[in-house]
Amino acid sequence: MTYVIVGSCIKDDACIEVCPVDCIHPKPGAADFETAEQLYIDPQVCIDCDACVEACPVDAIFAEFELPEKYEYALDLNGEFFGERSTAERTAG
Amino acid sequence: MAGTRPRVAIVGAGPAGAFAAAGLLRACGDVEIDLFERLPTPWGLLRGGVAPDHQEIKRLGDSFDRQTLKRGCRFLGNVEVGVDVSHSELMLHYTAVIYATGAQTDKSLGIPGEDLPGSWAATEFVAWYNGHPDYRGLEFDLSSQRAVVIGNGNVAVDVTRMLTLSARELERTDVADHALEVLRDSRIEEVIVLGRRGPAQAAFTSAELRELGHLDGVSIRVDADELELDSVSRRWLADAGTFTARKNVQLLREFAGRPARPDARRRIALRFLCSPVQIRGTDGVEAIDVRRNEIVRADDGSLRARAVDEDVETIQCGLVLRSVGYRAVALPDVPFDERRFVLPNQRGRVRTPAGEPLRGVYAVGWIKRGPTGILGTNKRDAEETVSCLVDDLRAAALPQPPTPGREQIDALLAERKPGLVTVEGWRAIDGHELEAGRSEQRPRVKLASRDELLAAATTTAPSAATTHS
């Protein structure tokens, strides 16, 4: 299971501040932060603690099993962001 | 800061001003903040810009309220700084002034016919459908079959969606009633969106683009020809392209592969590599001429559009919405950078044109950095400005203002602005709008004229005024 951030994210970073496992990216200051259209949750790191859901001011975070139909695309999208990111990190060095 | 508490005026109660007020209260709780706003209502583009069918984003207003007005920050609405009260008067009453006035006008295209009736800035259309009282009187003619939207940002996508949603969908939003009436009778069947550059350079987010491809009863068309990436864009996308750019190209390819939908109620066509060169018409917009572009790499490394040849294609249309960006305007009595359209500043500390710091004057949001970024961008921007201000306060670099208390500014405002709207007035407006919305099963029914807003501000708020149902 994982939590998922959907496209209505406004990049308020309140979720990043409360995440106990640091699984929400990109973080302010990261190279890809400014160009990112939203924040994403790394499904391989998320521990389903629910803290980010409370923190989000625009209710843009859902538990995977509660994801509304119109946001179903977002589950793969979050994972894909981290897939590409690790490729970029590997090739950058 | 021994003795008296610092007193800070924030000019503009939009997202940047709200994030600045919230950040300042967090960073140094012992501060008096007055949030000045030209309109009787707070939160700026959250109310007047964010599209009516994106209600989830408007929830940010609750968070602003909780972090500012409910923590003692005062709202001074319906007061225009520079008109009702001057910059130098603010400097007499406040330790510091933070300008958060945003970007109030639009960039122009600089092509013939731009000023014909029926050619509008997309921002005017947005302000009109969102019930901004200064735009209520605009008359949009939606009697033609085709509209053209110029631009490839999220505002272009928003207005395209608003032109294609059904009356039933619009009725569930807080679109202004005067706009709902006109949109309900709209005869527009097709909206063509023109992008100067290619699909890989589009500025809209993939979330907005995806939504455009999933509207009920609306078909979306993209020409496979225009999706073909040139070698410059292909290399850029592979080497330096953003996640969003790759997603956009992927989505556009999916749209291009969709079968035609003759049953569609309305149609959207996304065109790329097209620059408008002239808007034609005698008494109003009749057509727009576009020229084909190619992508070239400029000397500075950026990817620019360049005309391929002199050939012109004419697209018949009765409405043109120009959405090529916002632009800030100069404010009375404070420096302004006429080239970059911002208050000259360093990390939010405003400077004179000669580069000298202007003590006690700060900037935040679009008037500080230019009209870029999304809502949350203003949070970091505000944190930067606030940290400069807090450093200056701690270093005792800001003298106490000549007037000792809030009574003097209150007396001045009472004399100049009998229609001042305070937080109680805003709560009465909010309560009235939410209550009206409840009976129509809408998020709210906006009061869209200054008179109505001011009348509602002076009535007693219904008991449920401050909570959403």
Residues B60 and B172 in one domain: no
Residue A5's closest chain B neighbor by CA?
B207
Q: How far is B286 from chain A (nearest CA, A)?
A: 36
Please indicate whether, in this complex, the C-beta atoms of B60 and A58 are within 8 angstroms of each other.
yes
Does the residue B225 lie in any domain?
yes
Please indicate whether, in this complex, the C-beta atoms of B379 and A77 are within 8 angstroms of each other.
no
Please indicate whether, in this complex, the C-beta atoms of A7 and B210 are within 8 angstroms of each other.
yes
Angle, CA B43 vertex, CA B325 and CA B36 arms, to 5°: 105
Tokens of B151: 């631009």
Please indicate whether, in this complex, the C-beta atoms of A59 and B375 are within 8 angstroms of each other.
no
Does the residue B433 lie in any domain?
no
Does the residue B197 lie in any domain?
yes
Does the residue B165 lie in any domain?
yes
pLDDT value of position B53? 97
Alpha carbons B151 and B275: distance in angstroms, whole number: 9
Show pLDDT as tens, one digit a residue, over chain A (93 residues). Answer: 899 999 999 999 999 999 999 999 999 999 999 999 999 999 999 999 999 999 999 999 999 999 999 999 999 999 999 998 877 665 554
Domain boundary among B271, B293, B325: B325
Helices B423-439 and B450-457, packing angle to 10 deg: 110
3-state helix, strand, coil in chain A (%, to 5): 40, 10, 50
Q: Which of B57, B377, B380 sits opposite A58 (nearest CB)?
A: B57
Residues B266 and B157 in one domain: yes
pLDDT per residue over B226-250, tens digit each?
899 999 999 999 988 899 999 999 9
Does the residue B234 lie in any domain?
yes
pLDDT-based confidence at B402, cuts 50/70/90?
Answer: confident
pLDDT value of position B403? 83
Residues B273 and B155 in one domain: yes
Domain boundary among B400, B421, B442: B421
Q: Which domain holds residue B389?
A: 7-104+328-421
Write the single-letter amino acid at B123: T
pLDDT value of position A92? 55
Q: Which of B59, B63, B210 sits opposite A73 (nearest CB)?
A: B210
Overall domain count for chain B: 2
Per the CB < 8 A criterion, the answer to whether B193 and B122 are in contact is no
Residues B273 and B412 in one domain: no
Residue B238's closest chain A neighbor by CA?
A88
Phi, psi of A49 (to 5 degrees): -80, -15
Q: Which of A10, A73, A81 sits opposite B376 (nearest CB)?
A: A10
Q: Which of A11, A36, A60 sits opposite B243 (nearest CB)?
A: A36
Alpha carbons A36 and A25: distance in angstroms, whole number: 9
pLDDT-based confidence at B459, cuts 50/70/90?
Answer: confident
pLDDT per residue over B157-212, tens digit each?
999 999 999 999 999 999 999 999 999 999 999 999 999 999 999 999 999 999 99
Q: Which of B243, B374, B377 sits opposite A84 (nearest CB)?
A: B243
Residues B240 and B132 in one domain: yes
Please indicate whether, in this complex, the C-beta atoms of B60 and A10 are within 8 angstroms of each other.
yes
Residues B128 and B251 in one domain: yes
pLDDT-based confidence at B464, cuts 50/70/90?
Answer: very low
Tokens of B182: 């006109």
Residues B405 and B369 in one domain: yes
Domain CATH number, residue B27? 3.40.50.720
Alpha carbons A12 and A70: distance in angstroms, whole number: 22
Residues B318 and B372 in one domain: no
Residues B231 and B220 in one domain: yes
Provide the H-helix boundaries in B240-352: 243-256
Please indicate whether, in this complex, the C-beta atoms of A13 and B214 are within 8 angstroms of each other.
no
Tokens of B31: 């501060």
Residues B19 and B162 in one domain: no
Q: Has residue B301 got a pLDDT over 90?
A: no
CB < 8 Å to B247, chain A: 77
Q: Which residue has the higher pLDDT, B467 or B187?
A: B187
- State what percent of residues in chain B have pLDDT above 70: 97
pLDDT per residue over B369-385, tens digit each?
999 999 999 999 999 99
Q: How far is B377 from chain A (nearest CA, A)?
A: 7
Instruction: Enumerate domains of chain A plus CATH numbers.
Output: 3-92 (3.30.70.20)
Number of DSSP helices (H) and strands (E) in chain A, helices first: 3, 4
Q: How far is B79 from chain A (nearest CA, A)?
A: 28
pLDDT per residue over B55-99, tens digit each?
999 999 999 999 999 999 999 999 999 999 999 999 999 999 999
ipTM over 0.90: yes
Residue B57's closest chain A neighbor by CA?
A58
Give the three-class secondary structure for B82.
coil
Domain boundary among B325, B358, B383: B325
Does the residue B151 lie in any domain?
yes
Please indicate whether, in this complex, the C-beta atoms of B56 and A7 are within 8 angstroms of each other.
no
Q: Which of A37, A38, A57 sits opposite B59 (nearest CB)?
A: A57
Does the residue B184 lie in any domain?
yes
CB atoms within 10 A of CB B250: 12
Q: Which residue has the higher pLDDT, B460 or B242?
A: B242
Residues B305 and B359 in one domain: no
Domain CATH number, residue B193? 3.50.50.60
pLDDT-based confidence at B446, cuts 50/70/90?
Answer: very high
Please indicate whether, in this complex, the C-beta atoms of B57 and A32 are within 8 angstroms of each other.
no
pLDDT per residue over B2-27, tens digit each?
457 899 999 999 999 999 999 999 99
* Chain A residues within 8 angstroms (CB to CB) of chain B: 6-13, 28, 32, 34-38, 57-60, 70, 73, 77, 81, 84-85
Residues B353 and B266 in one domain: no
Q: Which helix (H) or strand (E) holds B380?
A: helix B377-394
Does the residue B300 lie in any domain?
yes
Provide the H-helix boundaries in B139-205: 154-164, 167-170, 177-184
pLDDT value of position B1? 41
Task: Tell me which of B26, B243, B249, B378 to substitute to probe the interface with A (most A C-beta atoms closer than 10 Å).
Answer: B243
Per the CB < 8 A criterion, the answer to whether B145 and B415 are in contact is no
Longest dimension (CA), chain B: 74
pLDDT value of position B4? 76
